[in-house]
Structure 1
């Protein structure tokens, strides 16, 4: 049942990467608060299925966030639902493996989808957010704060989106637009489940402190993020303890370096490192879409 007391009730929200995982959970949460939800991403059939499950007005639009023209076309369709006052840049992909032997095209695609795609999303929908004095939520990661080995593209991209969101916030605050950053740890999505199939990535997570390797349900994370949008927060953390990493983030690279020097040779000796390729069904869908337009 819709939460009619929510400030999001009757407002239009755009969620990118909404076909599954956190994006689909966010769409459900916004809709439960009485909002009109536009789902954007690859896989029209999956987007339609999510949209059909929502209680309120919805629209699903297939578009690649790295294609500005496709995003502009999508924005024109979405405005029929109502001019967006919330935009969530959630679309993202990941791949794992050693940088030196990584495929340059795959590595660059992670940067393009996560970082350039987020910037494209903001570029296209900023006029709507200015008109509605709206809120832009950038989905970042613990990887924005502390980079990890064998995930160089993802860490670079998530550090980039954090910096982008900080810069954007300073540019648009005087126009009444607020910008939030969501710092997230492990979430129960197909991307994380796929990563766990690879021994070295699974082992690296196992060496994190118990609290840091806990996996959260996507619906729980989505509820926290939507509450932050209602309050127009500049930062939201899931789990909440992640905020404690901010004051000590300068100390994290040396800690990761010491752990990597000790553990990576042992892991490599046990099983040769392998490249994962795009992780999860979302990563595979992005690769298929990129091939179809090549």
Structure 2
């Protein structure tokens, strides 16, 4: 059943750019009051000012429980209630596992999986009071594995499972929990991954329709509509729903003959570029690394 967002307070993490920014804009047009959380104060301020209607922003690292609990308390004090939380913050890295940057690999797990856990831990008390809705942004990567995306696939499979388990725990208390699925969507993260020629080449070898990049606006429109309905599953691309019925076969297909064949063919090119893939991809990844660097110095 659709529920009006007019006057409801919605928290969006990772709101400085990409899916988070666009989602905030669409929810604001539906009458929601937005609380934006992220790592980029200047960018968050610009987004909040563009939304109008009393939108506000908080700078916090989703992996920092104390910072997220502080943000949750301040948002609750500022708006008086919290009705919806979208755990959207995420980063990515790519390349063969044995050639991966251990620091970047662990950061992907920490932000995408443990950061979502921290977000839920910080905001669930308020959602229990409002009988609200938590939407966990996952990915096609939660449904099907892909070579050279071990960290990202592991993190998104983890948050999908976490959200499903949490739904069973809090549903009888009036809190609904949803999982949002996106395929490759035109964001800074995907464009950053495509800057790597071999990553771009391997992605093109994925079966249709998973081998193309989809426009951001219609994908986020589907997510916003799912939030209005408080749906247990939200699909940013129409065909992702159908993937659920065949997901049991996908590891054998992608991790079997197809994946192994393409990796074998690309092996010489990987060997020639070994050691060149370091860090997180895209502008969001750069912002995350800058924040971590500043934090370590401080």
TM (norm. structure 1) is 0.95
**Contact 2:220–2:236 under 8 Å retained in 1:** no
CA contact (8 A) 1:186 1:192 kept: yes
Is the partner of 2:51 in helix, strand or coil?
coil
- Aligned to 1:15, the other structure's residue is in SS state strand
SS in 2 for 1:138: strand
- Picking from 130, 141, 144, the partner of 2:142 is 144
**Are residue 62 (structure 1) and residue 59 (structure 2) matched?**
yes
Equivalent-residue separation in structure 2 for 1:194 and 1:55 (angstroms): 30
Deviation at 1:217, TM superposition (A): 2.2
Counterpart of 1:290 in 2: which secondary structure? helix
- Count matched residues: 290
More displaced, 139-148 or 214-223?
214-223
Name the CA shift for 1:66/1:10 in 2 (closer, same or farther; >3 Å): same
Alpha-carbon deviations, 1:20-43, whole Å to 9, x = none?
A: 000000100110011100010001
The offset of 1:104, in angstroms, is 2.0
Matched with 2:187 is: 189
| Map of 1:44 onto structure 2 | 41
Shifted more, 114-123 versus 236-245: the winner is 236-245
Unaligned 5+ segments in structure 1 are none
Higher helix share: 2
Is the partner of 1:181 in helix, strand or coil?
Answer: strand
Please list, as runs of the form range in 1=range in 2, the aligned pairs for 1:276-291 lying within 5 A after superposition.
Answer: 276-291=278-293
Q: Report 1:104-119 matches (<5 A).
A: 104-119=102-117
Match in the other structure for 2:176: 178
- Counterpart of 1:167 in structure 2 is 165
Q: Distance in 1 between matches of 2:11 and 2:281?
A: 24
Matched, 1:16 2:13: yes
Does the Cα contact within 8 Å between 1:17 and 1:40 map onto a contact in 2? yes
SS in 2 for 1:19: coil
Contact 1:145 1:159 in 2 (8 A): yes
How do residues 247-286 of structure 1 correspond to structure 2 at under 5 angstroms?
247-256=245-254, 257-270=256-269, 272-273=272-273, 274-286=276-288
Aligned-pair CA distance for 1:188: 0.6
Query: Does the CA contact (< 8 Å) of 1:58 and 1:81 recur in 2?
Result: no
> What CA distance in whole angstroms lies between the structure 2 residues aligned with 1:109 and 1:243?
29
What's the secondary structure of 2:249's corresponding residue?
helix
Structure 1 window deviating more from structure 2 (113-122 vs 214-223): it is 214-223
Q: Secondary structure at the match of 1:95?
A: coil
Question: Within 1, Cα distance between the matches of 2:54 and 2:217?
Answer: 20
Q: Specify the alignment match of 1:292 in structure 2.
A: 294
Gapped regions of structure 2 (runs ≥ 5): none
Task: Give yes or no for contact 1:182–1:236 (8 Å, CA) kept in 2.
Answer: yes
Q: CA deviation at 1:99?
A: 1.1
Kindly report structure 1 stretches of 4+ aligned residues shifted beyond 4 Å: none
Which whole-Å deviations, capped at 9, do the CAs of 1:44-65 have from their partners, x for residues lacking one?
0000001111132201110000
Aligned to 1:244: 242
The Cα shift of 1:111 comes to 0.3
**How many Å separate the matches in 1 of 2:87 and 2:187?**
17
- Give the C-alpha shift of residue 163 in structure 1: 0.4
| Contact map agreement 2:86 2:135 (CA 8 A) in 1 | yes
Query: Which stretch of the first structure deviates more once superposed, 267-276 or 151-160?
Result: 267-276
Q: Aligned-residue CA RMSD in angstroms?
A: 1.4
